Structure 1
Amino acid sequence: MSSETLRLIVAVVGNAASVALYAAPIVTFKRVIRKKSTEDFSCIPYIIGLLNCLLFTWYGLPIVSYKWENFPLVTVNGVGIVLELSYVLIYFWFASSKGKVKVAMVTIPVLLVFCIAAAVSAFAFHDTHQRKLLIGSIGLGVSVAMYASPLVAMKQVIKTKSVEFMPLPLSLCSFLAGSLWMTYGLMIRDIFVAGPSVVGVPLAILQLVLHCKYRKRSVVEVPNKEGMEENNGNFEKVDLEKGGLEMNEVEINVTNHKNNGDAL
């Protein structure tokens, strides 16, 4: 198997893993739509993800890269733009008034950053190397921030001892996609493709460790809670039955007393 064929296979599998990563929050946003509430979910990771997809789609286009050498980046991040933008819009729709303001205050500057970077790379620089250096550097920083954004969720997991707000599919896809893109970036010797995964993969492993630790605890606690509720129900039932027996005894005594009075 040639190195080019192997690189293509890694790129294709990496694309599939990344699409799965971008699609993983669909479960979360189905819940948001069903409950018509954003609950304790944060929109910032999805806004950062949108910026990341915009930058790397631009990075892969012939305007920045040499011809279509980075075509796999365009396909996967093009899908990512559609999905991440959908998540942001759904979050904005169901957020509170205060939440809507927060989303707008973060999203607008993010879009401005992309527009300015794209304009500068297209019109200020006339060399592919310089364009890749500019967009790649910004994209590298944003990707590191995107991979680091689950730190907020991990903090909440440790605090609440619950993995409810850190879905397992998202953590698994993050680990798989990061590993594959790091491999692909090393194969094509592009630090801007491989670099983000150097941070992303260890963080994804940490998420999986937290899942193993706190998911077991959640499974153990639920039956105990149900057992307590069941026991409380039994206790109440016994008390009611006992109360019923006592009332019956009172009624019998009153009846006997009345009968004795009539007999007299």
Structure 2
Amino acid sequence: MNVLRTIYLTSIFQSVHPNSKTFWRIARSRSTEDFESAPYVVTLLSSSLWVYYGITKPGGLLVATVNGVGVVMEAVYVTLFLLFATPQLRAKTAVLVAALDVGFLGAVVLVTSLAVHGSLRVMVIGTICACLNVFMYGSPLAAMKTVITTKSVEYMPFFLSFFLFLNGGIWTVYAILDKDIFLGTPNGIGFILGTVQLILYLIYVNAKASKQLGDSHEEEWQHQRLINSNSEHEADEEAHI
């Protein structure tokens, strides 16, 4: 029970914390700026499917509850895009919501409810959830590629990497205890990717600091060179006079 309580509370914290800064930034400025709505729309779909999986699977109340919080949070973010995004992005968001969060989700619920029964239904829903989660890990992979290419962690925030690691690790432990391959597979991948991101962060955060220090030294050197050049010029003028 203590293990389950720890998983529950930590997962709730994880679902709220990483995006809260973005939430307040959009709410205060009443603008979505350059943020894209697609990740939030897809995450809303993923959380909704996991809620359905948790409801369908015997003993899956924890999965349904935690992801239910995720559904509420992602619904708030998507609503912000529908309210404050530019007309073009607002239309794009509405289309994505209609296609994925309403159309695709509704189709999955309808088909699995009418055409699939018993343990096979749990297997089908779990497979869909796991595949979608694996697909969503394309974003961390892209972030890691950017870090390696630019040798900078500017576009890979520490807390997002940390919570990817934490969330993946916690749910992997839960999946092992519950013998749930559908939870274990995507979250195991998330745990590995989160670990790699943290390692990259440790490697390149100092490289970034060194680069900034080097740039600072170069600016100081150029400034000193300019001062010396001006001093020499003034000395030449005085000698000429």
TM-score, scaled relative to structure 2? 0.80
What secondary structure does 1:24 align onto? helix
2:57 match: 65
Please tell me whether Structure 1 or Structure 2 has the larger radius of gyration of its CA atoms.
1
Query: Aligned partner of 1:65: which letter?
Result: K
1:118 match: 109
Query: Aligned partner of 1:10: which letter?
Result: V
Query: Aligned partner of 1:121: which letter?
Result: T
- 1:207 Cα deviation after fit: 1.3
- 1:124 Cα deviation after fit: 4.2
What secondary structure does 2:137 align onto? helix
Answer yes or no: is 1:150 the counterpart of 2:144: no
Identity of matched residues, %: 30
Q: How many residues align?
A: 238
Q: Tell me if structure 2 keeps the 8 A contact 1:47–1:106.
A: yes
Pairs within 5 Å for 1:19-30: 19-22=12-15, 23-28=17-22
1:258 match: none
1:9 match: 2
Rate the CA distance shift 1:167–1:16 in 2: closer, same or farther, 3 A: farther
CA distance in 2, matches of 1:79, 1:119: 23
> Aligned match of 2:155 in 165, 180, 205?
165
CA distance in 2, matches of 1:31, 1:236: 42
Rate the CA distance shift 1:140–1:220 in 2: closer, same or farther, 3 A: same
CA distance in 2, matches of 1:216, 1:89: 38
CA distance in 1, matches of 2:228, 2:175: 68
Cα deviation per residue 1:191-243 (whole Å; 9 max; x = unaligned)? 22222223222222221222122112101111111222233333334445555
Answer yes or no: is 1:48 the counterpart of 2:38: no
Q: Tell me if structure 2 keeps the 8 A contact 1:20–1:173.
A: no
Rate the CA distance shift 1:99–1:191 in 2: closer, same or farther, 3 A: same
Cα deviation per residue 1:28-62 (whole Å; 9 max; x = unaligned)? 555667886655x655443332211111112222x
Query: Aligned partner of 2:2: which letter?
Result: I
CA distance in 1, matches of 2:179, 2:95: 37
> Aligned match of 1:18 in 6, 11, 29?
11
Q: Tell me if structure 2 keeps the 8 A contact 1:55–1:114.
A: yes
CA distance in 2, matches of 1:19, 1:212: 27
2:220 match: 230
Pairs within 5 Å for 1:245-260: 249=238
For structure 1, the residue ranges without an aligned partner over 5 or more in a row are 1-7, 254-264
Pairs within 5 Å for 1:157-236: 157-236=147-226
What secondary structure does 1:149 align onto? helix
Pairs within 5 Å for 1:129-144: 129-144=119-134
Higher relative contact order (CA 8 A, sep 6+): 1
Rate the CA distance shift 1:203–1:224 in 2: closer, same or farther, 3 A: same
Cα deviation per residue 1:2-50 (whole Å; 9 max; x = unaligned)? xxxxxx33332223333343321334555667886655x6554433322
